[in-house]
Structure 1
Amino acid sequence: MDLLSTQRLIQRYNHKEWTEEFDDIVKEYPLTIHVNDQEFATIVCSPEYLEEMVVGFLASEGMLRIHEQDVKKIIIDEEKGFAYVTLTKDHVASQDFYSKRFIGSCCGKSRQSFYFQNDVKTAKTSMTKTTIKAERCLALMKQVQQDSEVFLATGGVHNAAIATQDDIIVTRADIGRHNALDKLFGHCLINRVAVRDKVLLFSGRISSEVLLKAAKMGVGIMLSKSAPTDLALAMADELNMTTAGFIRGERMNVYTHAHRIVR
């Protein structure tokens, strides 16, 4: 957890009393990505699993599909905050298709300005036959939250996980909800983890960008602790994806393609 948080001496007010104590504060780290010697983007993130995040981010933007075929080399300079990616010549970024931009860690529409250009090619309509019991949705979401040491200590990260009905396979945390998903995507690509029959668990809001990123990963069931947006649900309807939100305690709302969550 030391990679993702630091301690700071603070003044705490509680029930009319002041105390001085150390508090865990989540770290924020800017990483500038260069692709084939061109500056591509700067992402503000948590400083962990950076190569996975770079791979997942580039895959979600349509710049690579198969890690071992499309990526020649990735060098991460953690001290200076740079990632240098060399892709095969057939996958050089076009200046007309992509433009240099800044991507923050906030929960706003920071990526909406460019995802429309390549969504048609990269977002996948789900064909999964996977189902999951409602009780397992609740249990898996609870497990993701309980296992996140960084969230419990700082309250400052989003969590995302890939799971089967029985257990969680991999979990990633980041100050940016997009980054957490990119780290999962990158992990699955690098380690050849098939996700078509898996479930995606997420602590943040299901916005249209988040839904599209899940579709690009290839999952058909997305479970969230938070709320969806109307555009995200319209996209989920079209992409044949099951979405459920407000998974808290013993309750949840199923919004689209409810046949995959069984009683």
Structure 2
Amino acid sequence: MADYIIAPNPNAQRLTRAIDGVDHTGAQVEIPVVEERPLTIFLNSQEIVTAMTIGDYPDYLALGFLRNQGMLRDDDIITAVDYDDDLETVVVRTERQTSYEEKLKKKTRTSGCAVGTVFGDMMEGLETLTLPAAELRLSWLYALSHTINRTPSLYLQAGAIHGTVLCRADQPLVYMEDVGRHNAVDKVAGWMLKHGESAEDKILYTTGRLTSEMVIKTAQMGIPVLVSRSGFTAWGVEIARQVGLTLIGRLRGQRYVCLSGADRLIRDVEPSSSREDTGKRHRE
């Protein structure tokens, strides 16, 4: 198993609940079902959004959401992140006085599961953004797919959930899950912000679709490579090409499609010489 900094804990309390039912044969069954609960995020004294989440890493989710919405600036000094489990709220406090009343009036409901929301101009800042031309070795791609798909996770235990993994070369580092893929990405962004992690040498792996929202968030985080086992949207591809993001989709074993950044792929292994995904307990 890879040496993750953070990995899913399928047995963590409160993330799933055992529920009785009947299977296709009529037999009584009890299966784990993913919990979802509201989390209200405040920036200083202003309520920003209520997100539906599985409830783990609320501090990272709040930090990442605010950072990806442009409400936390690079030069902001964060003085505290306070989570109240009883009230299901998290408050991010900064030295800078903040007010985003106008920004909050403009909401865009995204295509993400659990219905994501972004505020303000989604394309703000992308016009002048160019990501570093980071290389992507096929050996890294195949190794990441092999390892991540076999990592014990809530998905393998209960399904109905998305995963996002921050990686460096062929090493997965931080693996977050949530009911919405946007939440999982925000948790990764929050972890990077809190720990001052650089982005230019990273790869972001997601189980979700490569939509405009996913591409924009990855680009705003400064990560130059985005990989998914799912498919693309045309706008997502257009934005990836605009900002120089390497975009890999439909990754299954040794098969993939690259719709942006193919010139940055380094074919250091032939598909036939790398490991196939033949395990029984992994994502299909």
- Is the shorter-chain TM-score for this pair beyond 0.5, marking a shared fold? yes
1:75 to 82, 89, 92: 82
Tell me by how many angstroms 1:104 deviates: 8.9
Post-superposition Cα deviations, 1:121-145, rounded to whole Å, max 9, x if no partner, equal 3787344242122232132123222
Q: In the alignment, does 2:70 pair up with 1:62?
A: yes
Q: Distance in 2 between matches of 1:40 and 1:101?
A: 11
1:159 to 147, 160, 163: 163
Which ranges in structure 2 are unaligned for 5 or more consecutive residues? 1-9, 268-284
1:139 to 139, 143, 160: 143
Note if contact 1:11-1:19 (Cα within 8 Å) is conserved in structure 2: yes
Q: Distance in 2 between matches of 1:136 and 1:179?
A: 25
Q: Distance in 2 between matches of 1:103 and 1:251?
A: 32
Tell me by how many angstroms 1:79 deviates: 2.2
Note if contact 2:107-2:120 (Cα within 8 Å) is conserved in structure 1: no
Note if contact 1:129-1:197 (Cα within 8 Å) is conserved in structure 2: no
Report 1:48-197 matches (<5 A).
48-66=56-74, 69-90=76-97, 92-99=98-105, 106-107=112-113, 110-111=116-117, 114-116=119-121, 119-121=123-125, 125-197=129-201
Q: Distance in 2 between matches of 1:221 and 1:31?
A: 30
SS at the partner of 1:146?
A: coil
SS at the partner of 2:23?
A: strand
Which ranges in structure 1 are unaligned for 5 or more consecutive residues? none
Q: Distance in 2 between matches of 1:23 and 1:102?
A: 35
Tell me by how many angstroms 1:183 deviates: 0.2
Q: TM-score normalized by structure 2?
A: 0.83
Q: Distance in 2 between matches of 1:57 and 1:122?
A: 18
Q: In the alignment, does 2:209 pair up with 1:205?
A: yes
SS at the partner of 2:144?
A: helix
Q: TM-score normalized by structure 1?
A: 0.89
Q: Distance in 1 between matches of 2:96 and 2:239?
A: 33
The structure in which a higher percent of residues are helix is 1
Cα distance change, pair 123–157 in 1 and its aligned pair in 2 (3 A): farther
Tell me by how many angstroms 1:221 deviates: 0.7
Note if contact 1:29-1:47 (Cα within 8 Å) is conserved in structure 2: yes
Tell me by how many angstroms 1:108 deviates: 7.6
Q: Distance in 1 between matches of 2:219 and 2:180?
A: 18
How many residues end up aligned between the 2 structures? 256
Q: Distance in 2 between matches of 1:45 and 1:104?
A: 16
Q: What root-mean-square deviation, in Å, do the aligned CA atoms of Structure 1 and Structure 2 show?
A: 2.3
SS at the partner of 1:187?
A: helix
Cα distance change, pair 60–115 in 1 and its aligned pair in 2 (3 A): same
**Which residue of structure 2 aligns with residue 38 of structure 1?**
46
Cα distance change, pair 123–25 in 1 and its aligned pair in 2 (3 A): farther
SS at the partner of 2:104?
A: coil
Q: Distance in 1 between matches of 2:15 and 2:174?
A: 17
Q: Distance in 2 between matches of 1:36 and 1:244?
A: 38
